[in-house]
Amino acid sequence: MIVPYGHVLLLAGALFALGLVCAVARRNLVMVLLGVEIMLNAAGIAFVGAALRWQQLEGQIFVLFIMALAAAEVSVGLALIVRAYRRTGSIDQTTYDLLKW
Amino acid sequence: MNWGLIIPELYYLAVCGLLLVLSMVVKPNPRRDLVAVVYLAALGVVVCLASVRMEGTLFAAAYRVDLFSQVFKVLLAVGFLLVLSLCTELNGIDDRLRLEFYLLLTTCTVAMMLLVSSAELLTIYVALELSSYSLYLLVPLRRGHDVAVEAGIKYLLSLRCGPYD
């Protein structure tokens, strides 16, 4: 493995932090969904790095599955957001406060 | 590969496909649809009961069919039938969305049937995700308040970020 495993983990951690900030701090629902997807991809990078580090290819297969399922999930999420936009006329997440008490 | 081992899953998958096509081409008729789906679910219980004694593994031992999983499949099929029989007074769902509601319920049942047979992390993950996707869509299907849509979005996002399913 040419790239040291520590660097891969650093990259995955940085990407995860970016996704976390995007998911928590942004107010646009699409951006929140995007942040969650970035976190999933960061986990995928860690998986691939570990698969190379220990020479076990199951990790890469797993990442392929995660990517396919993430694609399905993002389509579900976007459909939900479109539905919510039609109902409430807003994709700003601070306007979704009916469940607060 | 022995396809005979997964006959219950294949049957419910076929029901899913049928409901998907019907939900796109058929004019909604709640009474007729419910009767048809209940009959399909009852046939599903029979299929599950007929395959109780099957044993074996599939997909490089990632999917295991044994007495434990088959018994739970029968229980799931019976539960599905009971849930559908409760749907006679289904006022929360629009008439035109009924077939899609049944479709998502069936998908969820298939996913849980896959889950009880899963023997490896990969298959467990796929089965869990499949069941949760249909649940994400079932939540905002409810007619009426904006609360349902909001709850659906929060369910999706919190389950993505939080402890996995």
- Whether the CB of A2 is below 8 Å from some CB of chain B: the reply is no
The values of phi and psi at residue B66, to 5°, are -145, -175
pLDDT digits (tens, 9 = 90+) for B81-105: 999 988 887 777 887 888 889 999 9
End-to-end CA distance of chain B: 31
Tokens of A81: 């957001």
Angle at B136 between CA A58 and CA A71, to 5 degrees: 40
Instruction: Tell whether A20 is covered by a domain.
Output: no
Question: What share of chain B in percent tops pLDDT 70?
Answer: 96
Q: What is the 3 state secondary structure string of chain B?
A: CCHHHHHHHHHHHHHHHHHHHHHHHCCCCHHHHHHHHHHHHHHHHHHHHHCCCCCEEECCCCEEECHHHHHHHHHHHHHHHHHHHHHHHCCCCCHHHHHHHHHHHHHHHHHHHHHHHECCHHHHHHHHHHHHHHHHHHHHHCCCCCHHHHHHHHHHHHHHHCCCC
**Alpha carbon distance B108, B105 (integer Å):** 5
pLDDT band at B160 (very low <50, low <70, confident <90, very high): low
pTM above 0.95, yes or no: no
- Which residue of B136, B145, B153 is in closest CB contact with A29? B153
Say yes or no for a CB contact (<8 Å) between A58 and B122: yes
Chosen for mutation from A64, A98, A100 (greatest number of chain B CBs closer than 10 Å) is A98
- Number of folded domains in chain A? 1
Mutate: best of A26, A30, A60, A76, partner B, most B CBs <10 A: A76
pLDDT digits (tens, 9 = 90+) for A32-50: 889 989 999 999 999 999 9
Spatial distance between the Cα atoms of B111 and B105, rounded to a whole number of angstroms: 10
The 10 Å CB-count burial string (b at 16+, else e) for B95-130 is eebbbbbbbbbbbbbbbbbbbbbbbeebbebbbbbb
Tell me whether residues A98 and B146 touch, CB distance under 8 A.
Answer: yes
pLDDT of the residue at B91: 77
A82-98, pLDDT tens digit by residue?
988 888 888 887 888 78
Question: Shortest Cα distance from B3 to chain A (angstroms)?
Answer: 22
ipTM computed for the complex: 0.82
Contact B156 A77 (CB under 8 A): yes
> Nearest-CA neighbor of B8 among B77, B63, B64, B85?
B77
The owner of tokens 């493995």 is A1
Q: Which domain holds residue A48?
A: 28-90
Which of B94, B123, B145, B149 to mutate: most A Cβ within 10 Å? B149
- The domain segmentation of chain B, as residue ranges, is 3-161
Please state, for a pLDDT cut of 70, what percent of chain A lies above it.
98
Is A96 inside any structural domain?
no
How far is A53 from A43, CA to CA, in rounded Å? 15
> Does residue A10 fall inside a structural domain?
no
Res. B165: pLDDT tops 90: no
Q: How far apart are alpha carbons B134 and B1 in whole angstroms? A: 28
Question: A72 in contact with B at a CB cutoff of 8 Å?
Answer: yes
Q: Sort strands B56-58 and B63-65 into parallel, antiparallel or unpaired.
A: antiparallel
Q: Which residue of A has its CA nearest to B144?
A: A87
Identify which of A69, A72, A84 has the shortest CB distance to residue B153.
A84
CATH number at residue A77: 1.10.287.3510
Q: Distance between alpha carbon B151 and the CA centroid of its chain, in Å?
A: 21
Residue B11: how many CA atoms within 13 Å on its side-chain side? 21
A86 falls within a domain: yes
- Looking at the partner chain, which of A40, A76, A87 has a beta carbon nearest the beta carbon of B136? A76
Residue B20's alpha-carbon distances to A90, B86, B97, in angstroms, are: 30, 21, 11
